[in-house]
Amino acid sequence: MILYMILIFGIGIYQGRKVHSSADFAIADRKLPGWVAALSERATGESSWALLGLPGAAYATGLMETWTAIGCVLGILVAWIFLAGKLRKEADTYKVETFTDYIAKRHGECGKWIRILGSFTIVFFFFFYVGAQFLGGGKTLHTLFDIDQNLAMIIVVILVIPYTIYGGFRSVTYTDVIQGLLMIITLIIAPIAALIYLAEQPEGAVFATSISEALTKSGDSYSTLMGGAVLDQQSDLAINLNRLFPDAANVVSGLGSGIIIAGAFSWFFGYLGGQPQLTMRFMAIKDEANAKIARNIGVIWTIIAYIGALSIGWIGIALFGPNGLEDQETVMPKVLTTVFNPVISGILITGVLAAIISTANSLLILSATELSENIIKPLSNQKNEDYDGLWRSRMITGLLSIIALGLAYLSPSDLIYSIVGYVWAGIGSTFSVVILLTLFWKRFHGKAALLTIGVGLIFTVIWISAGLDAIISSRLLTFVVALLTAILSTFIFEIRKGKN
């Protein structure tokens, strides 16, 4: 791990020497090679979610978590196949430097307010997302070395921040290449070796000697795609549905199963251009030929990675039993340290840290540039904007990292899966609607975009704060509410304009 971090530092500092302006810092001057953009986008998109959160959820729920994987994979494929190339062209046409900069330039009549509200929304939610990465790093180091988790989070921050502050987007994307490669190697080698390990174990040495046996022994809630949707009659969802349909048990069961599956699949909506840290990778690709290369790499990486992540969660059931781990999200490092010797497991677990680092630094850069370019810059009177803007972005990056660390300590949830889910609703589901309609519906205008962002933000906060996310996922409902808001407001503003 020390050697790995030295390598990452070296690459980050080397690329940082090429950063001479705020545009370099924010988007690498839109000149990323396709292979760099693809591996960076995938490393950033999966983060501790794919190496800790998703395997942990697969360990806890069995085959039911397949619906989450299907939603994620389909969303990623749609983004790479249908959106990436178009977003690259748009970014080049409008000379985009930040995510909200694109939306604002496309809807110039409300550009100022779109920048302010959009940037505020992103920074607000991404504090929690960055905190989730620090939390994931703390869990990993705690599992490996029995380091206090709070101290471990500080160590992760020390590893991430210096080269991120120095080199910005350029350093982050090129270090992501190493991290993306290490992540996919881990997700390929670990399941294969673990399955061989299980098959060689004598009877009774482990809970089960194969994934299928482990799922079957764990019961119906683990072993079938629909079995996991059997409702706990004491759950909030079951109680509320029974109130609505007191004499229709089948209706309750059917609705409950459908709602649970829809909630798992709803991760799909966040990938449709609405995650700024991923969309910026699309925008930064230097030309159309590189966009095609990036698309192919991104699609192949995604399919392999999700199969591996789910498999590791299910292998954890075979090794430890369905109730064998105190914290479900430690299943990845636990599997690796069980199956491999310390040297190999150390190398592969570095893949977990790679995922955490690649997302944490990307989110910090995005938040810092949004805040610097769209909120602080308009208020400044600096003459040498390239130089002053670069140092402004660097200082804000450092400040935001400290705030995010504080939020990781104070977070109301200690589950990475849950924290990322909140961000996926407030940011992903809301901005996916704005990006899709901006790209594909000519009638969509700035006032409607501004209202959609505001409604999506407010709805997500209210829905989750009221505990209603336990009934129907905010990832799904925020997308629906934002889409209805966007369509209706487009027509209403047009009608009012026509009357005037």
Q: What is the pTM of this model?
A: 0.85
The answer to whether the CB of 167 falls within 8 A of the CB of 12 is yes
Residue ranges making up the domain that contains 339: 2-499
Compute the distance between CA of residue 143 and CA of residue 191 in angstroms, rounded to an integer: 19
Span 155-177, average pLDDT: 85
Say what the pLDDT of residue 234 is. Answer: 46
Q: Is 4 helix (H, G, I), strand (E, B) or coil?
A: helix
Q: How far is CA 50 from the centre of its chain?
A: 9
What percent of the chain lies above the pLDDT cut of 70? Answer: 87
The enclosing H or E element of 321 equals none
| Residues with Cβ within 8 Å of residue 212, at least 6 apart in sequence | none
Compute the distance between CA of residue 176 and CA of residue 281 in angstroms, rounded to an integer: 11
Q: Which two tokens stand for residue 191?
A: 């399941």
Question: Which residue has tokens 């950063």?
Answer: 19
Q: Which two tokens stand for residue 419?
A: 């924290």
Q: How confident is the model over 376-388, as pLDDT tens digits?
A: 877 766 555 555 6
pLDDT at 301 over 60: yes
Q: How confident is the model over 342-376, as pLDDT tens digits?
A: 888 888 877 677 767 777 788 888 888 888 888 88
More confident: 126 or 454 = 454
- CATH number of the domain enclosing 215: 1.20.1730.10
How many CB atoms lie under 10 A from the CB of residue 331? 28
Say what the pLDDT of residue 168 is. Answer: 87
Q: Which two tokens stand for residue 225?
A: 């795609």
What percent of the chain lies above the pLDDT cut of 90? Answer: 41
**∠ CA(148), CA(189), CA(214), 5° rounding?**
80
Which residues are registered as beta bridge partners of 39?
Answer: none
| Amino acid identity at 439 | L
pLDDT at 108 over 50: yes
Compute the distance between CA of residue 376 and CA of residue 63 in angstroms, rounded to an integer: 47
Query: How does DSSP classify residue 80?
Result: I
Say what the pLDDT of residue 246 is. Answer: 60
Compute the distance between CA of residue 28 and CA of residue 13 in angstroms, rounded to an integer: 14
Say what the pLDDT of residue 396 is. Answer: 86
pLDDT band for position 252 (cuts 50, 70, 90): very low
**∠ CA(277), CA(278), CA(281), 5° rounding?**
100
pLDDT at 239 over 70: no
How many CB atoms lie under 10 A from the CB of residue 299? 18
The answer to whether the CB of 55 falls within 8 A of the CB of 316 is yes
The enclosing H or E element of 229 equals none
| Residues with Cβ within 8 Å of residue 286, at least 6 apart in sequence | 30, 31, 32, 33
The answer to whether the CB of 228 falls within 8 A of the CB of 221 is yes
Span 89-110, average pLDDT: 92
Say what the pLDDT of residue 433 is. Answer: 96
| Residues with Cβ within 8 Å of residue 176, at least 6 apart in sequence | 36, 39, 40, 43, 44, 358, 362
Task: Write the burial class of residue 338 (CB in 10 Å: 0-12 exposed, 13-18 middle, 19+ buried).
Answer: middle
The answer to whether the CB of 312 falls within 8 A of the CB of 331 is yes
Among 130-139, 148-157, 428-437, 459-468, top mean pLDDT goes to 428-437
- The rounded mean pLDDT for the chain is 84
pLDDT band for position 227 (cuts 50, 70, 90): low
The answer to whether the CB of 366 falls within 8 A of the CB of 126 is yes
Span 441-452, average pLDDT: 94
Compute the distance between CA of residue 336 and CA of residue 328 in angstroms, rounded to an integer: 14
Q: How many domains are contained in the chain?
A: 1
The answer to whether the CB of 165 falls within 8 A of the CB of 184 is no
pLDDT at 418 over 70: no
- Spatial CA neighbour of 180 closest among 66, 288, 16, 42: 42
Q: How confident is the model over 191-218, as pLDDT tens digits?
A: 999 999 999 999 889 999 999 999 999 9
